[in-house]
């Protein structure tokens, strides 16, 4: 009789890979088969896609190289359906993968379907190939002294606008948003952010909804047309429809509704991590970021192992710590936060902030390698913490 316990992980982003590698290490003594499914053979560093879009080159990390020696089986392909009753997933409509437990780590992407013309005329940072094509087109537009519109002033939009303006000073870059850039920050950190955008020459159209994206312009709600040889769309999020299509309980956005141990409330042998999970904690709803996603992956790997050993996992707990924003390669602003992600008293700016941001957004490969030998160094519950780096105690405001 085959007693092999089969775990299938869907998605090889930050959370899927960390879950797979942590599980592989912690289940060496158990009869396990861990399979990781992803459409691309390349690991995508989503936190650094704006750098590719600006024309910078990043290392090429292959998933098979990262997994080498772990025993995790990698299957390259698109997951086309999930059958939670039969406990199996279909890959490319041709391969069936049975599972005893499923980890749903399919993440999210930018939604271009919310405004007419965005899907046809705007670019996104959803994948490296698109980002590289955008960078090629950007070089042509920059040589002509053209215009770029960045729609959405969340962290991605701010970083993309700043990176593009810093690398291509001849371009006219406009950041368009309903909300003020840096609205989630404290007053002083937000003021620094705006001064940095001014230095870079990034103009802002604030308080305006985009109603249409045209081939060479962006139309605002009041009828104003913002010229744009290139439009980068960074606002709106969508998740894979697979969970909802399979009859798994999801929220209004399609994320799997989970219990306090990050298991599906409708199908307990399905675990959801990162952007794919609808997680509510005592202080409120978690929003999708790598900062929260990596702890969900580490927790889920540990929780699965505890369950296999007949133990009940403790509830997942998490608190935010910072909002790091790069403003080109040599500038940045870091807003330290309370556990519910509201701004705290302290912040960093300038080159120190840029170094800090680089450290938290750098390649996760060292953490993946570390997970082969020990538990990942992530904090899984709320609370204050002191971190030191380069002789500076974070938590004291530094002005440049």
Question: Residue 311: which pLDDT band, with cuts at 50, 70 and 90?
Answer: very high
Q: Is the pLDDT of residue 308 over 80?
A: yes
The C-alpha atoms of residue 105 and residue 359 are separated, in whole angstroms, by 24
- HSE-CB at 83 with a 13 A cutoff on CA atoms is 11
Are 143 and 210 part of one and the same domain? Answer: yes
CA angle, 4 then 312 then 18, to 5° = 60
**Contact predicate 378/368, CB 8 Å:** no
Are 131 and 275 part of one and the same domain? Answer: no
Domain ends where: 233, 257, 282? Answer: 233
| % of the chain exceeding 70 in pLDDT | 90
DSSP-assigned letters across all residues of 80-91? EEEETTTTEEEE
| 282 burial type by CB count under 10 A (0-12 exposed, 13-18 middle, 19+ buried) | exposed
Question: Residue 206: which pLDDT band, with cuts at 50, 70 and 90?
Answer: very high
| 385 burial type by CB count under 10 A (0-12 exposed, 13-18 middle, 19+ buried) | exposed
Are 276 and 182 part of one and the same domain? Answer: no
Can you give the pLDDT at residue 375? 61
Neighbours of 90 (CB within 10 A): 16
Give the distance, in angstroms, between the CA of residue 83 and the centroid of all CA atoms in the same chain. Answer: 27
Average pLDDT over every residue of 264-277: 97
pLDDT, mean over the chain: 89
Average pLDDT over every residue of 289-293: 85
Helices (H), the chain: 14-26, 49-53, 63-67, 118-121, 128-143, 155-167, 187-200, 242-245, 290-308, 350-361, 365-370
Domain ends where: 233, 265, 298? Answer: 233
SS3 180: coil
Question: How far are the Cα atoms of 8, 94, 267, 343, 344 from residue 81, in angstroms, in the given order?
Answer: 13, 11, 16, 41, 43
Overall size of the chain counted in residues: 400
The tokens for 245 are 């299509």
The C-alpha atoms of residue 115 and residue 233 are separated, in whole angstroms, by 10
Are 197 and 158 part of one and the same domain? Answer: yes
Are 227 and 134 part of one and the same domain? Answer: yes
Any domain includes 48:
no
Any domain includes 65:
no
Are 279 and 328 part of one and the same domain? Answer: no
49-71, pLDDT tens digit by residue? 889 999 888 888 999 999 999 99
The C-alpha atoms of residue 27 and residue 301 are separated, in whole angstroms, by 10
Question: How far are the Cα atoms of 110, 123, 348 from residue 195, in angstroms, in the given order?
Answer: 28, 27, 14
Question: Residue 384: which pLDDT band, with cuts at 50, 70 and 90?
Answer: very low
| 178 burial type by CB count under 10 A (0-12 exposed, 13-18 middle, 19+ buried) | middle
Can you give the pLDDT at residue 168? 95
Can you give the pLDDT at residue 289? 79
335-356, pLDDT tens digit by residue? 999 999 999 999 999 999 999 9
Any domain includes 47:
no
Domain that holds residue 194: 124-233
Q: Residue 29 maps to which CATH number?
A: 3.50.50.60
Question: Residue 290: which pLDDT band, with cuts at 50, 70 and 90?
Answer: confident
**Contact predicate 123/109, CB 8 Å:** no
Whole-structure pTM over 0.75, yes or no?
A: yes
**Contact predicate 212/204, CB 8 Å:** no
Q: In the chain, how many domains are there?
A: 3
273-284, pLDDT tens digit by residue? 999 999 999 888
Can you give the pLDDT at residue 58? 84
Question: How far are the Cα atoms of 97, 324, 344, 349, 353 from residue 189, in angstroms, in the given order?
Answer: 49, 11, 10, 8, 11
């Amino acid at each position: 009789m085959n007693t092999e316990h089969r775990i299938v992980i869907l998605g090889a982003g930050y959370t899927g890979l960390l879950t797979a590698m942590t599980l592989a290490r912690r289940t060496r003594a158990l009869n396990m088969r861990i399979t990781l499914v992803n459409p691309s053979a390349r690991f995508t560093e989503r936190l650094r896609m704006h750098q590719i879009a600006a024309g910078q080159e990043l290392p090429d990390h292959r998933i098979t190289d990262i997994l080498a020696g772990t025993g995790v089986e990698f299957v390259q392909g698109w997951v086309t359906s999930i059958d939670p009753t039969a406990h199996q997933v279909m890959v490319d409509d041709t391969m069936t993968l049975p599972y005893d437990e499923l980890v749903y780590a399919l993440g999210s992407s930018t939604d271009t379907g919310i405004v007419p013309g965005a899907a046809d005329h705007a670019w996104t940072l959803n994948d490296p190939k698109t980002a590289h094509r955008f960078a090629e087109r950007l070089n042509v537009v920059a040589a002509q002294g053209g215009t770029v519109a960045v729609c959405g002033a969340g962290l991605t939009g701010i970083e993309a606008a700043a990176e593009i303006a810093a690398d291509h000073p001849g371009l006219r870059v406009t950041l368009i948003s309903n909300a003020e850039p840096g609205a989630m920050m404290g007053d002083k950190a937000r003021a620094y952010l705006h001064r940095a955008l001014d230095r870079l020459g990034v103009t802002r159209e604030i308080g305006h909804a985009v109603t249409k994206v045209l081939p060479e312009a962006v139309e605002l709600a009041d009828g104003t047309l913002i010229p744009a040889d290139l439009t980068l769309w960074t606002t709106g999020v969508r998740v894979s429809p697979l969970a909802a299509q399979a009859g798994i309980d999801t929220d209004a956005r399609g994320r799997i509704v989970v219990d306090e141990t990050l298991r599906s409330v409708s199908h307990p042998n399905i675990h959801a991590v990162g952007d794919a999970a609808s997680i509510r904690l005592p202080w409120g709803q978690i929003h999708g970021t790598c900062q929260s996603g990596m702890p969900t992956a580490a927790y889920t790997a540990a929780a699965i192992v505890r369950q296999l050993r007949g133990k009940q996992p403790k509830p997942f707990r998490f608190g935010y710590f910072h909002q790091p924003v790069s403003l080109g390669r040599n500038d940045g602003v870091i807003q330290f936060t309370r556990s519910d992600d509201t701004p705290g008293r302290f912040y960093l700016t300038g080159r120190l902030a840029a170094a800090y941001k680089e450290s938290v957004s750098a390649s996760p490969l060292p953490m993946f390698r570390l997970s082969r030998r020990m538990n990942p160094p992530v904090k899984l519950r709320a609370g204050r913490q002191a971190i030191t780096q380069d002789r500076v105690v974070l938590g004291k405001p530094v002005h440049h």
